[in-house]
Amino acid sequence: MNPHFELHLPRRPRRLRRSPAIRNLVEETTLTVNDLVAPLFVKDGFGPSESIASMPDQFRLNMDDLLRECEALLTLGVEAVGLFPQVDPGLKNSKATEATNEDNLVLRSVRLVKETFPDLVVITDVALDPYTDHGHDGVLDESGREVLNDPTVGILCQMAKQQAEAGVDFVAPSDMMDGRIGAIRDALDDAGHTHTSILAYSAKFASAYYGPFREAIGSAQAAGTHLLDKRTYQLNPANRREASLENQLDAAEGADILMVKPAGPYLDIIRDLRNNTELPIAAYQVSGEYSQIQAAAKLSWLDLEKCRDESLLSIKRAGADIILTYFAKAVAASL
């Protein structure tokens, strides 16, 4: 080897990597606390909050702890939360009647949070799976085999109006029924809730990464399986063009923000969407993404903080403006 050998290169990309200060100057993507939404699980009753076995450091929060968690997040600069209920199994049935109970867990949680922290952005899920005894996101036909689209949308519209009345900033339909964004927008406007925004789960895939979430809210237990088949309404993971169509439809029907779920395995979908819309884009780093990083780190196979931060940075780099992540609190504390 000749130590004096030198190439004559007009471009040496390494010049811009020579020091931390130079790397910071030319950094193209920056993750900030303003990008983060913290999904929170809420439980009913006066018992203690419960840890979620498959989601380390995540809890089903009682009402007192929910307020404490919201306060802690605000202190760290996280200004938005998404609320997801663990509904008492005794309140579930095939028609999801608890979903439109005027005093259900979600509505009580929203009222309490907004009364205590009026400036905190609150996002609520609009879907029936927490409330059905079969675990599907809609009501079924008489055979129990088909999820009925239009009757389900009618219930979702009622849910959205009730959540708006309770004070949410965003209703977030996650069901993937056809036409639900336009129907919900009309229902909200007709009820005078023109300022309530819609964060649409526009490209929600029939993913294997939802298992820990289903444990957390109890929808898997309701169905008796962690392998609940939702492929007749959630997107085929193989289909890129179909995802684009769903995003176009939701935008045309009045969605204020479009979301891709899951995030990490679908970075190409996020980038496609960024290239084809002027609307803000959200991405949901789902429970399976979170839990696999946690599990590998527990076994010392991965560095938790470095992999956590890299995973979120890749989602932002792909084009997401907003990231729903269970890492929100920990990342905010580190920024």
- Asked if residue 202 is part of any domain, the answer here is yes
Q: Helix, strand, coil: what percent of the chain each, to 5? A: 45, 15, 40
pTM value is 0.96
**Residue 200 has what pLDDT?**
98
- Asked if residue 84 is part of any domain, the answer here is yes
- Asked if residue 19 is part of any domain, the answer here is no
Domain CATH code at residue 280? 3.20.20.70
Tens-level pLDDT at each residue, the chain (335 residues): 788 899 999 999 999 999 999 999 999 999 999 999 999 999 998 899 999 999 999 999 999 999 999 999 999 999 999 999 999 999 999 999 999 999 999 999 999 999 999 999 999 999 999 999 999 999 999 999 999 999 999 999 999 999 999 999 999 999 999 999 999 999 999 999 999 999 999 999 999 999 999 999 987 655 555 557 999 999 999 999 999 999 999 999 999 999 999 999 999 999 999 999 999 999 999 999 999 999 999 999 999 999 999 999 999 999 999 999 999 999 999 99
In whole angstroms, what is the distance from residue 232 CA to residue 280 CA? 27
Q: Is-catalytic flag, 92?
A: no
- Asked if residue 129 is part of any domain, the answer here is yes
Q: How many domains does the chain have?
A: 1
For residue 114, give Cα distances in angstroms to 162, 308, 322, 323.
14, 30, 21, 22
Cα-flanking dihedrals φ and ψ of residue 334, to 5°? -90, -15
- Asked if residue 307 is part of any domain, the answer here is yes
Catalytic residue among 204, 230, 316, 329: 204
- Asked if residue 155 is part of any domain, the answer here is yes
**Residue 4 has what pLDDT?**
85
- Asked if residue 223 is part of any domain, the answer here is yes
In whole angstroms, what is the distance from residue 215 CA to residue 263 CA? 20
- Asked if residue 73 is part of any domain, the answer here is yes
Q: Is-catalytic flag, 316?
A: no
Range of the domain at 247: 30-334
